[in-house]
Structure 1
Amino acid sequence: MTDADVRPDDPTAAVLRVLDVEADAETPDLFHATSLAQPGGRVFGGQVLAQALLAAGRTTPAERLPHSLHGYFLRPGDVTKPIALTVERLRDGRSFTARRTHALQDGQPILSMIASFQEEQPGVEYAETMPADVPDPEDVVSALDQLGGIDHPVAKFWTQEAAFDVRHVGGSLYLDADPDPGLGRQAVWMRSRAPLPDDQLLHRALLAYACDQVMLEPVLRRAGRSWVTPGLSMASLDHAMWWHRDVRVDDWLLYVQSTPSAQGGRGLGAARVFTREGVLVATVAQEGMVRLPL
């Protein structure tokens, strides 16, 4: 990684530090990482997903960037324990590279991920367009403003310690349910709170980090519930991403989200990610355990 204009006390700097995975001095394709402190003491899924991707990227040619990943969250991680990232070199082809990364604590996997990397190539080019009726991010209330005055550990984490500015079009689910849940659709603007290094692998990893914050919210919205619903229990089970084009997470990105199904204590969230200019840069899907009092 290269330096960026990030103050040492900025929450973004803390994220960059934990994502700067360290290569083992003796064992090839082994990396070490730590975790951000979290309310409840569990490792944030987006963090370990990004770390696994960055470790895999350290073993691939620089001109090959990730275009897809598929990961399973297998066990809850402990933020007080180190994370070992083991990378398996599955394939090095003429255009594509495939890697499997296991994130381990106490010798047990907490995440298993396969990612595919590709060098830039010409081909057929088209993309869906961004919805035209979405307000600009400057006209949407930020979570920093909505939660900033609340004296609660979770509220403080998502404001004082948050590396991303998150703005829900039409209102968030932090404190209240959607009064008109409809089809469980939502649109969210998101941007890092500080400029970041000009490192495309890092930006793609940070997109994986950031989107894990909101991927299951459409399920809550469709169910007419909020994050403060008594008895709510949620956890990410698996995560899939496809990067279509270069992305910068220190520019505003719009997540257009939906939930096609929920059943058996599980819910599926999907998102298309657009730049402010309307360019589709990524598609994301995540299934999670969503247990609600009925």
Structure 2
Amino acid sequence: MSQAMDALLDLLDIERIEHNLYRGVSPKDEWQRVFGGQVIAQALVAAQRTVQEDRFVHSLHAYFMLPGDPSVPIVYNVDRIRDGSSFTTRRVVAIQHGEAIFSLSASFQIDEPGFDHQIDMPEVPTPEDLVSLDELKQKFLHAAPENVRRYWERERPIEMCPLSLTHYVSDKKLDPLQNIWVRTTGAVPDDRRIRAAVLAYLSDMTLLDTSLFAHGVSIFSNRIQAASLDHAMWFHRDCMLDDWLLYAQDSPNAIGARGLTRGGLYSRDGRLIASVAQEGLIRQRQPRQS
């Protein structure tokens, strides 16, 4: 178990402070705002703790309203919208400094039999057929800006094995497609609810990047103001997370300073585990007047 994975599980073990009220904290690092995946995951955990044990999340829809402040706790207020015979609905509002910074609606369902189909996983090299992340860093990151190097060199609970890092060091316009192998850096408890929260956490990684591929600019560029605006996720099949998952992403549209990206998370054996969609702000900053 890595220290980063231990820290993530601690972050997801949010504190109950009152009926329907929970409190989460953020890691103490140098980042100026809370990682969106953390808020999604903690809000999902808060909702899960008000739901019957035989019901599991099948979808969530979230909006980011204000940047999260990592220096203070986040309070999660759960609204028990509905408890039906098969489905349960919850709404969660995340609050800091007296203001709502994030909202999430989630739906939970009992396990039921039914039709079963999925689209195939893209054909890409396996992680073992790719060069290691260390080799990728040596190849691409020596010429990358300092903030890009810092992002890729930090210890994290999720290991990423991208097929390429070209978009960080080149202004070449690329097809808006990205495939990244991801896995946890330590074991996840054998608890389906925790696995769903960790999956929600990692689902926010690298998505917004893909919407910039077609424009030859990196999300780390000082020419771009970038932020997640909304996030939707559908949970299809349960899966262990300590083996590689393929995160296949594409960006079908960018307009109005917003980029839309879709993603599919596949197990190594090709099962579609979850689908993701996100729209983010990708605003071009105006050059400073001299």
Other-structure match for 1:165:
159
| 1:38, distance to aligned residue in structure 2 (A) | 4.5
Output the amino acid matched with 2:101.
I
Between the aligned partners of 1:144 and 1:200, the Cα distance in structure 2 is 32
Bigger proportion of residues as helix = 2
Deviations 1:222-250 (CA, angstroms, capped at 9, x unpaired): 21212343322110000000001112222
Output the amino acid matched with 1:78.
D
Between the aligned partners of 2:250 and 2:39, the Cα distance in structure 1 is 24
| 1:28, distance to aligned residue in structure 2 (A) | 0.4
| 1:172, distance to aligned residue in structure 2 (A) | 5.0
Between the aligned partners of 1:228 and 1:87, the Cα distance in structure 2 is 34
Match of 1:113 among 76, 93, 104: 104
Deviations 1:4-53 (CA, angstroms, capped at 9, x unpaired): xx25xx211111111111111xx201111101235442011000110000
Other-structure match for 2:86:
95
Query: Are residue 231 (structure 1) and residue 252 (structure 2) matched?
Result: no
- Alignment size in residue pairs: 282
Between the aligned partners of 2:229 and 2:210, the Cα distance in structure 1 is 16
Between the aligned partners of 1:192 and 1:90, the Cα distance in structure 2 is 33
Deviations 1:30-87 (CA, angstroms, capped at 9, x unpaired): 1111012354420110001100000000111112110000000010010001110110
Q: Is the 8 A contact 2:148 2:220 kept in 1?
A: no
Output the amino acid matched with 2:205.
Q
Between the aligned partners of 2:105 and 2:132, the Cα distance in structure 1 is 34
TM-score under structure 2 length normalisation: 0.91
Output the amino acid matched with 2:16.
A
Q: Is the 8 A contact 1:143 1:159 kept in 2?
A: no
| 1:178, distance to aligned residue in structure 2 (A) | 6.8
CA 1:124/1:22 → structure 2, altered by over 3 Å: closer, same or farther? same
Runs (5+) with no aligned partner, structure 2:
none
Other-structure match for 1:3:
none
Other-structure match for 2:273:
281
Query: Are residue 186 (structure 1) and residue 178 (structure 2) matched?
Result: yes
Of all paired residues, the percent bearing the same amino acid is 41
CA 1:118/1:75 → structure 2, altered by over 3 Å: closer, same or farther? same
Q: Secondary structure at the match of 1:131?
A: coil
| 1:95, distance to aligned residue in structure 2 (A) | 0.7
Query: Are residue 59 (structure 1) and residue 50 (structure 2) matched?
Result: yes
| 1:140, distance to aligned residue in structure 2 (A) | 2.6
Between the aligned partners of 1:272 and 1:171, the Cα distance in structure 2 is 20
| 1:166, distance to aligned residue in structure 2 (A) | 0.8
| 1:209, distance to aligned residue in structure 2 (A) | 0.8
Q: Is the 8 A contact 1:45 1:212 kept in 2?
A: yes
Query: Are residue 242 (structure 1) and residue 234 (structure 2) matched?
Result: yes
Output the amino acid matched with 2:215.
A
Q: Is the 8 A contact 2:219 2:226 kept in 1?
A: no
Output the amino acid matched with 2:126.
D
Between the aligned partners of 2:260 and 2:234, the Cα distance in structure 1 is 16
Output the amino acid matched with 1:44.
F
Q: Is the 8 A contact 1:49 1:71 kept in 2?
A: yes
| 1:199, distance to aligned residue in structure 2 (A) | 1.2
